[in-house]
Each structure stands twice: as structure tokens, then as C-alpha cells.
């Protein structure tokens, strides 16, 4: 690869680097992106060119969820055409497709609230059978359940229609049904704010809860094969919103791997709005994207990273938080060279040790990270910048803006 520059002036693509990394590790390493059918239509040439060159897997960001699949919100009337377009395109380009997601309370049809427990259970299982059956043989892995743990990072389960009507066993049941439909599919539990283990100030409560939940599922014989750590980070975050250290993410990947699970970073983006003057956003993004990927790759259980989008032209962040530049390619489909370069370099290291993990954990990011507020007694472990105490939503997006997460 040395000396061979691609059209963006970077030495090799992420896809090429992932292939080299996979060869060295003797297992495939995924570098993926979430994509939208409308953008594949409206900006086909630049959008598809970057996707085809840089990524070896894709996930459909919105249209494969339960409510978006239904025609007019009617139970049992599905329109798979937007998803089929992406799945067929990706397969033609030699990419793998992950299904996202079969059970998520945020994109559950409105009629679920009016159903009895038995009717809801029947409707949920029918949806899983219908969706997986339609893509059988084309989609080999699935985020079966998404975000069953509470957004307040307390460690409790999310108070949603499935928990209220079906009880906590609905998570196990979804995996069992999915496995019956496609015994060869990789079945994944996916969640956010659970990326870092061993952090102070309660910042790892949800990571601990996710580990405990998956450990229990494995002990009960539930067919769960993978864990997705979403990776929606904010470079300017403090308190509970602070980006977890690469060291802490590696610890979470390791202990999940010890349960026999594969682990992926499943929805990564890095918000930079709010960084102080003089701090370069791309420098912060390069450290977060590159260092976390590098740390994860030291663990055998880690099988890849998916970006939640890839170009700043489209990101869920713009609607749910505020306009930002969270992704490695800008609005003109040009790479942010420090960011893409850091990811590529992490893939090419392909060794069991990591320079970033040799750095003292408390010093990581000191050149760009926002200091913790110290007023009112809140220190590095305090619940600052938007809460984070038990019962409070932690950096919760506005789900009423648009359900395309």
C-alpha cells in the first residue's frame, strides 16, 4: 500500500486497511456505514463512490425498523422496497448487510400501546418472522433488540411498552424467535452509553448493566452472539457525557468477549459542537475515532466498527441535537484527513499491543478535552453538564424530532 494514494490524497482506503487487518488477525474486520435510500438516490455518484471505496459493510439507518416498514402504519402491510434497494446494491458491491433493528420501543407502531399483552407478543413475533424471512439469505446478522436498558444510565431496564406488557423476558424471547427463523444468523444486542467499563463517578453503570444482562442471557442459553456498543460520543462532554477512554472501551470489549460474544462499535459518530475556541474539532475526532478503534483491535472479540452515516451532509445529530460535524467525511464528501487517516492507521497497526493503551488513562485527550467543571463541588467524577444522576436522562436526544436513529 505504501506510496499508493487514492483520489482523496490518502494512502489507501479504510476497506483496504480492514482487509489487511483481517488477514493479520485471521478474521474479517468490518468497517461499515449506516446509509439512507434517499441519499443513495439524490447524491448517487459521490455517495456511492465513497461507500464502495471505503466500506465493506452497511446497515440501513432507518427504513428497516418496524414502524417505517409499515404502509400507513397498518399492521401486517409492509413495504420493503427502500430496504431491498440498499440490500441488493450492497450485495452487488461485495458488502455485507446487518439488519437494524427488530425490536426497539422508539420505532414501534402506535397500535402497540392499545394491544393486550398476548396480542402485542403475537404482533412482535410476527414482525420478526416477516422481516427476517423477507431478507433470509441476504442479511446475515441482526440487531435483534435495541436499547432495552434505561437512558438514565441507572442500570434499570427502559420503561417501554414491551417491558410494561410483556415483562423483562421479552428480550430473551426476541432472540429465541429470531434464532428459530434463521439459525445461521448472528444475533446482536445493541445499546448506547455502555461503551466504557471501570470509569469513576457512576459513568460505567450502564456498561455494567449491559454486561450483567448479557451474562444472564448466556447462562440461560439465549442465542445471543454479539454485542453492539453504539459509540455516539461528544468531544466537548463532561461528567456523564464525557467520551469514555480507549482504555475503558477495551475493558468492556474484553469482558463481553469473555462471555463468548463478538463485539462491535455499531453506530459511531463524534460531535464537536461546544469545543472551546482554539481546540480543533478534527484533532479531537481523530483521537476519539482512531484511539478507540486502535484499543478495540487489541481484543480478539472485536470484529469492527460502523459509522452512523459517513458524511456531515446527513446525520441524525442535526435533527436530534443541533447542527454539527460529527462524521469523518464533510458535506462535500471530502475526507477529514486527520480523522480518516487515524482510523486507517489504527487498522494497519494490527498488533496485540497499542500505544494509546500504554498512555496513562488520566492523560488521554488532555490536549483537547474540556476540563471538568469544579464549581458547586463537582469534580471529575461529578454528575455535571446535564445531569447523570439516577433517574435523569443522560444526554437524551429529542426523539420527537425524527425517528431515524
Helix (H, G, I), strand (E, B) or coil at 325: coil
Cα torsion for 217, 220, 223, 225, to the nearest 10°?
40
Residues in contact with 221: Cβ distance below 8 Å, sequence separation at least 6, in sequence order: none
| Backbone dihedral angles phi then psi of residue 201, each to the nearest 5 degrees | 70, 25
Residue 42 is predicted with a pLDDT of: 79
H or E segment at 178? helix 170-181
Domains and CATH numbers, the chain: 19-369 (3.20.20.80)
Helix (H, G, I), strand (E, B) or coil at 257: helix
Instruction: Name the one residue in this structure whose C-alpha cell is 444475533.
Output: 187
Q: At what angle do helices 205-219 and 246-257 cross, to 10 degrees?
A: 10
Nine-digit cell string for 282: 478534527
Residue 403 is predicted with a pLDDT of: 47
Tell me the three-class secondary structure of 24-49, residue by residue.
HHCCCCEEEEEECHHHHHHCHHHHHH
| Backbone dihedral angles phi then psi of residue 11, each to the nearest 5 degrees | -85, 95
Q: Which of 92, 26, 27 is nearest to 58 (CA)?
A: 92
Residue 10 is predicted with a pLDDT of: 62
Q: What's the pTM value of the predicted model, to 2 decimals?
A: 0.92
Other CB atoms within a 10 A radius of the CB of residue 387 amount to 18
> Per-residue pLDDT tens for 55-98?
999 999 999 999 999 998 778 899 999 999 999 999 999 999 99
Instruction: Name the one residue in this structure whose C-alpha cell is 420505532.
Output: 107
Between CA 24 and CA 150 the distance in angstroms is 38
Pairing label, strands 302-307, 262-271? parallel
H or E segment at 103? strand 96-103
| Backbone dihedral angles phi then psi of residue 400, each to the nearest 5 degrees | -80, -10
Residues in contact with 203: Cβ distance below 8 Å, sequence separation at least 6, in sequence order: 153, 196, 240, 242, 244, 381, 388
Instruction: Name the one residue in this structure whose C-alpha cell is 437494524.
Output: 100
DSSP assigned state of 335: B
**Which residues of the chain are modeled with pLDDT < 70?**
1-10, 350-352, 375-405
DSSP string, 121-147: HHHHHHHHHHHHHHTTTT--EEEEEE-
Helix (H, G, I), strand (E, B) or coil at 349: helix
- Using only the alpha carbons of the chain, give its radius of gyration: 20
> Per-residue pLDDT tens for 344-381?
999 998 666 789 999 999 999 999 999 998 754 433 33
By annotation, the residues acting in catalysis are 147, 267
Instruction: Name the one residue in this structure whose C-alpha cell is 487517516.
Output: 341
Instruction: Name the one residue in this structure whose C-alpha cell is 463537582.
Output: 378
Decide: 117 and 162 in contact? Cβ < 8 Å: no
Decide: 235 and 271 in contact? Cβ < 8 Å: yes
Q: Which of 307, 222, 319 is nearest to 261 (CA)?
A: 222
Amino acid at each position: 500500500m505504501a506510496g499508493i494514494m487514492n483520489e482523496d490524497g490518502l494512502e489507501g482506503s479504510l476497506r483496504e486497511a480492514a482487509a489487511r487487518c483481517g488477514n493479520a488477525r485471521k478474521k474479517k474486520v468490518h468497517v461499515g456505514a449506516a446509509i439512507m435510500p434517499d441519499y443513495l438516490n439524490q447524491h448517487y455518484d459521490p455517495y456511492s463512490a465513497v461507500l464502495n471505496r471505503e466500506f465493506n459493510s452497511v446497515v440501513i439507518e432507518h427504513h428497516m425498523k418496524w414502524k417505517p416498514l409499515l404502509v400507513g402504519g397498518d399492521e401486517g402491510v409492509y413495504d420493503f422496497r427502500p430496504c431491498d434497494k440498499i440490500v441488493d446494491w450492497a450485495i452487488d458491491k461485495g458488502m455485507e448487510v446487518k439488519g437494524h433493528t427488530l425490536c426497539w420501543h422508539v420505532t414501534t407502531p402506535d397500535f402497540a400501546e392499545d394491544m393486550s399483552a398476548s396480542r402485542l407478543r403475537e404482533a412482535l413475533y410476527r414482525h420478526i418472522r416477516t422481516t427476517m424471512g423477507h431478507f433470509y439469505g441476504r442479511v446475515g446478522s441482526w440487531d435483534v433488540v435495541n436499547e432495552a436498558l434505561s437512558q438514565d444510565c441507572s442500570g434499570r431496564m427502559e420503561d417501554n411498552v414491551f417491558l410494561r406488557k410483556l415483562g423483562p423476558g421479552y428480550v430473551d424471547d426476541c432472540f429465541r424467535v429470531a434464532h428459530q427463523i434463521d439459525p445461521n444468523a448472528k444475533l446482536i444486542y445493541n445499546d448506547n452509553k455502555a461503551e466504557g467499563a471501570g470509569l469513576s463517578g457512576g459513568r460505567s453503570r450502564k456498561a455494567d448493566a449491559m454486561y450483567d444482562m448479557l451474562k444472564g442471557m448466556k447462562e440461560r442459553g439465549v442465542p445471543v452472539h454479539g454485542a453492539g456498543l453504539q459509540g455516539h460520543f461528544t468531544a466537548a462532554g463532561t461528567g456523564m457525557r464525557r467520551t469514555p477512554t480507549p482504555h475503558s472501551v477495551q475493558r468492556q470489549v474484553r469482558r463481553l468477549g469473555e462471555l463468548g460474544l463478538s463485539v462491535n462499535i455499531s453506530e459511531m459518530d463524534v460531535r464537536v459542537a461546544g469545543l472551546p475556541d482554539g481546540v480543533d474539532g478534527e484533532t479531537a475526532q481523530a483521537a476519539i475515532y482512531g484511539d478507540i478503534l486502535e484499543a478495540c483491535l487489541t481484543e480478539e472479540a472485536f470484529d469492527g466498527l460502523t459509522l452512523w452515516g459517513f458524511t456531515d451532509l446527513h446525520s441524525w445529530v442535526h435533527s436530534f441535537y443541533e447542527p454539527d460535524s460529527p462524521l469523518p467525511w464533510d458535506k462535500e464528501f471530502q475526507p477529514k484527513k486527520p480523522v480518516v487517516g487515524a482510523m486507517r492507521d489504527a487498522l494497519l497497526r494490527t498488533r496485540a499491543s497499542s500505544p494509546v493503551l500504554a498512555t496513562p488513562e488520566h492523560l488521554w485527550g488532555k490536549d483537547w478535552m474540556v476540563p471538568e467543571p469544579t464549581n458547586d463541588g463537582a469534580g471529575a467524577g461529578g454528575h455535571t453538564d446535564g445531569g447523570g444522576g439516577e433517574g435523569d436522562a443522560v444526554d437524551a436526544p429529542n426523539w420527537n424530532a425524527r425517528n431515524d436513529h
